[in-house]
Structure 1
């Protein structure tokens, strides 16, 4: 059987350097929905040997222009060995889209410069987003189509059945706390760190987070860096407690601890120009001291380094909110070694940078207003944990769909799931359902830079989610990351460039028996389509379907009632996804998984009405998963002629199989 190959080359100029992006897609002409692997979809991003850290969507540099202290790749004075590089390169998978750090797939500012060989967007497809920033905070009027939200099963009404922590015998699940059982009658009881043999366990290798307290963290001069960090943080803490700390002291402390120079214009603008005198005084004298304490005691609070959630690992880590706070304090002071180095072949080329140096970076202007507002949200979290440390638990879980569990799409007789469609709700406000994070494959997207759309906003109003940047390697097409139990601390208004921190938010979400908020979020990354026409080709549709099913699937061993999934216009902003196509793909995935779907259209009433019209038609036709897949298979040759919804409404299910 013959194969056809389409090559799309994308060139853009970024900071006066050429970034060449070559996308090679190989697919079989057979009309069959199947798992897309690295041999089917390959994308390479090169920038003169250095991994692209910022998108060609927005011409904003996120590099550290003042890195002067050291010239070696790592601030502990070590070079990555050739054996390690070879090992990493051997295990690398090609990705489906280039890294985009500043704006992820929902960004309004996204512009893609298609080359002369790109296929033109057919006139029947929408080429711009219909996001309405003027009415972004419009109150929910309660209107919807389909099943009432109150009738969709959720985990707050039916909490999942959990084994006691002490009974878990999974080598891939790491607990940083002693076995803990939440008692609603004793809500102030705190989880305790789990110590093996009563002492801190040090790990310093590529399978664990390299903590700054490790004895193996050595400067290029051969001395341990932790005593340097301790001395610098202790000095800053004393200045804070005596109300003598200034912005320059924070800057000097971070640079001394990291052994690098950074630019702090965004942080300086917030503290010295935007905060009121009382706000600045409270941060400098109280919050800053607590951050120093949390970082200084990371070895006592965390008991051991958490494992990295690497590609294909199916690993899980459970920790307390206090442990997350300690790790985030370390990130504030930019203490995590090697993470700034993301060159091709380096140890962390496939990881986001969890350190706050890029969040503090603001250029000559001090940073755009929405970046300042993101920083306000994170600092509000630091204020809250200083007032009272939360005592809950959270879990970060990486999951890879086994190939044996990939459905036989063209044979599936699963009926359509229940659906609720509305326009004025936000995903984070629909409690008890699996909430979809429209993620970048590098989790967090542009949260540490200037990105300020769905994923980035969620991560700053729930800053404990930033721990995933510390743990998670880039996601592959059949992988996702679950973030369970992260608390929300801030409310906000606006979106993208209009985003603003609003006020304190009290998260009333109930807890499960482990002490985790019954808030389950899944990071689901979409393909970035530089050529919009590409998404209507079968390999790309297959990839997105596998990704959505990976996120929605519940293992057969779980016998609890299947709760709903709340999602929306996934990948339909700067990633150029087609809303109608993504709606049908997610409907297929949810139906195959047997889970109800709450679909939020982000103020798009036309999509509410048109999607439900299609859903009603398919329901009346008694369509199944295999029928929806057949629609997509035939539509791959027709997408230039008419929109997908029109094609479905004009085509009976019976005619698909005649």
Structure 2
């Protein structure tokens, strides 16, 4: 094993611009020129400061408050030294748990077996009688004999002493950073070390594991000690031991602030409306977020419970970051699981370890000295870690659903919008075990950072091909002068196309094609819009009309000639894939229509007009465009125009006796030619897609014609005044049987 005093950094001098490992803006132009000092350290109802203010020049911190004020409830952390913490020593006797802890560590501990026995003396044994396998492996095999003896004779007594200082350094209650709130906690690095020492000794009551009833993650090292002999678990224990060796030898003199940020729905951006320009980009295949991204807002690819498996078997991006900076682990003590628009920001945490490898190959490689990093006016190191959790995609296609894209963009915004300045250091967020697509996640983070007006330093972790793809896309978007709103609408249109038409086209190919041809969707799928309460018209907060009676369709070809005009019931509109949001809502005295115009690439223009409703008598016009892919083609433009209509025509049943079949048919439809049979065409070719669109249109024309014909056949021929009501009723009630082939007549040769 390496000596704990060794200092090595596997990433030293790894970034070499001369070898073209990066693209875009140089890091020096991305990185902030001064220290960001947010949030301010001031006591308030939403900011708990655990030391007295103002901070003295000599760096000495007095605990705050001066008088003890313990709270044992669901809104505060249940502390080990609380008088309320009791432990059953027998079936009839309770004893102060803290007193048991203090008595236990008055005796020297010389082995891992004795340490296990001490921990279990104040923790209820489980029915499975679990053994601390990883703990025993660490001291019996991972460390050599001299290091093991040195730990129990020198380091462990100092860790115990540090843990027992909790009585003096924590006199007040420690609030929980609960869901749905904006709240901060500031403490000294020594106070953070005291909490971690207690977690190492498993002294926090009722916090050995996460239960379904608890929104807080585990904090005691109980689970970590119970892991098997996995090498990555042993390496994490090295990181924690090195941390304790450092802070008990020379106590740190800084401050750490933990902030839970919650963004309300009303505060989220309207992505499709945003006119923000895309931000600057530095993308590199070498370097890491914590090294080259130092001084920026460093993104932690978090779990919903911050820290993820750091106190278990996990050893990927978040877990590695937490063992490099163990002060991050303290957040698990009081931070509830994150909501969809929430982030955890830790300001001022110090790095103590270096590493090599990733996942199963993770290895502690030595001590790290972070003293060169500057501190702000509150004695916090210039380190800002932003923890945002990504969605876990059981299927890769799930992430291309609009609700998933919207959730991820809002989540990134919740973290990136913290503070008024800075830059974002990030990478393939949620693209490991969570099955995220790096190409999509890059665009999501790009949009969020651009709205926040912060540049991005993106690290691809050795993937040069990905680096070049991201850089080329960013350059293309910049040349096209694409705004966040335009990019959002294109991605949203792709989402609708991929999930409805099952298109196999890649996201980036779709973006290149769409922006090159100029077919930029204005609104997108009406069923999947930005707002919670439905689609909007012209990007205004105005809901689309609704109705119960179904739309009236007026279909025109590319030359503007009317081809179909037919009142269709709701079941027909559903078969036509007309979302309910496009139907109109009935009212009493007037009717309005919506003209729907679709431009499909490589096809004739199809206009769906006169979507009628019995709505307000107002004559104002509303227009918007929505994306509606047709048979796998890239979405075109869909515009809606509302205009006042004359009074609705009387129902067909009430027509005058003189109305013949030809007149009736002309009122319903004006088909210029007989419909043809549908042809099976391949959508892999341009000709196939064109034919498919033409065929679909003719199918619906045939359907309309058949409905008119068979409705006419079922009417009473020339009813006379002498016809008896009973005979009329019998005739009208007689069912008319039809064959499916009647709806698709054969084309004439």
1:482-501 equivalence runs, <5 A: 482-501=345-364
Q: Cα offset for 1:267?
A: 1.2
Give yes or no for contact 1:138–1:424 (8 Å, CA) kept in 2.
no
What CA distance in whole angstroms lies between the structure 1 residues aligned with 2:347 and 2:481?
Answer: 36
The equivalent of 2:222 in structure 1 is 357
Count of paired positions: 496
Taking structure 2 as the reference length, what is the TM-score of the superposition?
0.64
Q: Secondary structure at the match of 1:443?
A: coil
1:193 aligns with 2:57: no
1:509-658 equivalence runs, <5 A: 509-554=373-418, 558=420, 562-639=421-498, 640-652=503-515, 654-657=518-521
1:197-596 equivalence runs, <5 A: 198-220=66-88, 221-235=93-107, 239=108, 245-260=110-125, 262-340=130-208, 342-344=210-212, 346=213, 349-363=214-228, 367-429=229-291, 430-507=293-370, 508-554=372-418, 558=420, 562-596=421-455
Give yes or no for contact 2:227–2:312 (8 Å, CA) kept in 1.
no
The equivalent of 2:36 in structure 1 is 160
Give yes or no for contact 1:164–1:181 (8 Å, CA) kept in 2.
no
The equivalent of 1:74 in structure 2 is none
In terms of mean alpha carbon deviation, does 332-341 or 490-499 score higher?
A: 332-341
Q: Cα offset for 1:435?
A: 0.2
Give yes or no for contact 1:136–1:494 (8 Å, CA) kept in 2.
no
Give yes or no for contact 1:433–1:564 (8 Å, CA) kept in 2.
yes
Distance 1:163 1:527, change over 3 A: closer
In terms of mean alpha carbon deviation, does 435-444 or 384-393 score higher?
A: 384-393
Unaligned runs of at least 5 residues, structure 2: 1-9, 522-636, 638-749
What CA distance in whole angstroms lies between the structure 1 residues aligned with 2:261 and 2:273?
Answer: 25
Distance 1:337 1:632, change over 3 A: same
Per-residue CA deviations over 1:567-598 (Å, capped at 9, x if unaligned) read 11011111111111111111110111110011
Distance 1:137 1:390, change over 3 A: closer
What CA distance in whole angstroms lies between the structure 2 residues aligned with 1:164 and 1:620?
Answer: 39
Q: Cα offset for 1:336?
A: 0.9
Q: Cα offset for 1:625?
A: 0.6
Q: Cα offset for 1:262?
A: 4.5
Distance 1:342 1:636, change over 3 A: same
The equivalent of 1:63 in structure 2 is none
Per-residue CA deviations over 1:474-493 (Å, capped at 9, x if unaligned) read 10100000011111001111
Give yes or no for contact 1:359–1:449 (8 Å, CA) kept in 2.
yes
What CA distance in whole angstroms lies between the structure 2 residues aligned with 1:169 and 1:390?
Answer: 22
Give yes or no for contact 2:163–2:195 (8 Å, CA) kept in 1.
yes
What CA distance in whole angstroms lies between the structure 2 residues aligned with 1:181 and 1:201?
Answer: 22
The equivalent of 1:172 in structure 2 is 46
Q: Cα offset for 1:618?
A: 0.7
What CA distance in whole angstroms lies between the structure 2 residues aligned with 1:288 and 1:227?
Answer: 19
Give yes or no for contact 2:400–2:495 (8 Å, CA) kept in 1.
yes
Q: Secondary structure at the match of 1:312?
A: coil
Q: Secondary structure at the match of 2:187?
A: strand
Q: Cα offset for 1:137?
A: 10
Q: Cα offset for 1:205?
A: 0.8
Q: Secondary structure at the match of 2:282?
A: strand
Q: Cα offset for 1:150?
A: 0.3
Q: Cα offset for 1:169?
A: 5.1
Q: Secondary structure at the match of 1:263?
A: coil
Q: Secondary structure at the match of 1:627?
A: helix
What CA distance in whole angstroms lies between the structure 1 residues aligned with 2:78 and 2:216?
Answer: 13
Q: Secondary structure at the match of 1:257?
A: coil
Give yes or no for contact 1:233–1:296 (8 Å, CA) kept in 2.
no
The equivalent of 1:36 in structure 2 is none
Per-residue CA deviations over 1:129-176 (Å, capped at 9, x if unaligned) read xxxxxx99993333211111100142xx312356974xx352110011
Q: Secondary structure at the match of 2:346?
A: strand
Give yes or no for contact 1:393–1:516 (8 Å, CA) kept in 2.
yes
Give yes or no for contact 2:491–2:511 (8 Å, CA) kept in 1.
no
Give yes or no for contact 2:43–2:49 (8 Å, CA) kept in 1.
no
RMSD between aligned residues: 1.9
Give yes or no for contact 1:137–1:493 (8 Å, CA) kept in 2.
no
Q: Cα offset for 1:644?
A: 1.2
Q: Cα offset for 1:402?
A: 2.1
What CA distance in whole angstroms lies between the structure 2 residues aligned with 1:607 and 1:137?
Answer: 23
Q: Secondary structure at the match of 2:181?
A: coil
What CA distance in whole angstroms lies between the structure 2 residues aligned with 1:162 and 1:580?
Answer: 31
Give yes or no for contact 1:136–1:495 (8 Å, CA) kept in 2.
no
What CA distance in whole angstroms lies between the structure 2 residues aligned with 1:417 and 1:622?
Answer: 11
Q: 2:26 aligns with which of 131, 148, 152?
A: 148
Taking structure 1 as the reference length, what is the TM-score of the superposition?
0.73
Give yes or no for contact 1:136–1:603 (8 Å, CA) kept in 2.
no
Q: Secondary structure at the match of 2:96?
A: coil
Q: Cα offset for 1:251?
A: 1.0
Q: Secondary structure at the match of 1:652?
A: helix
Give yes or no for contact 1:180–1:514 (8 Å, CA) kept in 2.
no
Give yes or no for contact 2:324–2:353 (8 Å, CA) kept in 1.
yes
Q: Secondary structure at the match of 2:493?
A: helix
The equivalent of 2:668 in structure 1 is none
What CA distance in whole angstroms lies between the structure 2 residues aligned with 1:214 and 1:474?
Answer: 24
What CA distance in whole angstroms lies between the structure 2 residues aligned with 1:301 and 1:249?
Answer: 28
The equivalent of 1:139 in structure 2 is 14
Give yes or no for contact 1:180–1:191 (8 Å, CA) kept in 2.
no
Distance 1:163 1:150, change over 3 A: closer
What CA distance in whole angstroms lies between the structure 1 residues aligned with 2:418 and 2:184?
Answer: 16
Q: Cα offset for 1:341?
A: 5.3
Per-residue CA deviations over 1:519-574 (Å, capped at 9, x if unaligned) read 0001110000002111111101000010001111145xx4xxx2110111011111
